[in-house]
Amino acid sequence: MHLNSEQIRQSSIIWILVASGNEAQVYRYHKDRAVMPMHEPRKHPYYDEKERHELALVPGMELRAESLDNFQTGPDRRGSFIGGQNSAHNAAEPKFSIRDEVKQNLVTAIAAKMKQASADDAFDHLVIAASPKVLGALRQHLSAEVLDRVIAEIPKDFTHDKNHALLAHLQNTLTQAHVT
């Protein structure tokens, strides 16, 4: 039995990955039809069928970056070294940015979780909405299996939006990806 494109779209599991440099959440997108009464049903029993779009947080798919307080060298502290022309201690900037390392660790954790979910066939399609830098880092770290399931990318940080606001932002992208 072959499924037509409408059946495939309705039965496929679509995840929305929303990420920034500090946190990430994964939502499951769901669309169904609901029969809703129009006017007062006792006087004029008239019903209308409407589409309902929902986002639900996927359990266990919320990630937060490590706190900068966990590191001995903070973002505003300087390292020191001995050397140079005299034997005095000199202040120097660390060779790496702690904030960049924390963001990199978060991106690596996201990629690992998504790879495991892909291996478990937990989702069929993926939409990624992330800040431009995080989106670029995710492209480099996500496995080929996960990247094959990506149907849309949005270079914007939506981590602070609530479900209904996030869905309003994503509606155009989902339509362009032929999801709705």
Q: Is the pLDDT higher at 53 or at 155?
A: 155
**Is the predicted pLDDT of residue 177 greater than 90, yes or no?**
no
Say what percent of the chain tops pLDDT 90. 34
Stretch 7-33: mean pLDDT: 80
Distance of alpha carbon 166 from the chain centroid: 11
- What interhelical angle do 132-141 and 98-119 show, nearest 10? 50
Burial 2-32 (b: 16+ CB within 10 A, else e): eeeeeeebeeeebbbbbbbbbbbbbbbbeee
Class of domain 5-36+47-66+99-176: alpha beta
Instruction: Note the pLDDT tens digit of each residue in 75-132.
Output: 445 444 445 555 555 555 555 677 788 888 899 999 999 999 999 999 999 999 999 9
Measured CA to CA, the distance from residue 106 to residue 143 in angstroms comes to: 15
- What does the block give as tokens for 68? 């900068």
Instruction: Note the pLDDT tens digit of each residue in 47-73.
Output: 666 677 788 899 998 988 877 666 555
pLDDT of residue 12: 83
Instruction: Note the pLDDT tens digit of each residue in 161-170.
Output: 777 778 887 8
Where along the chain do its domains lie?
A: 5-36+47-66+99-176
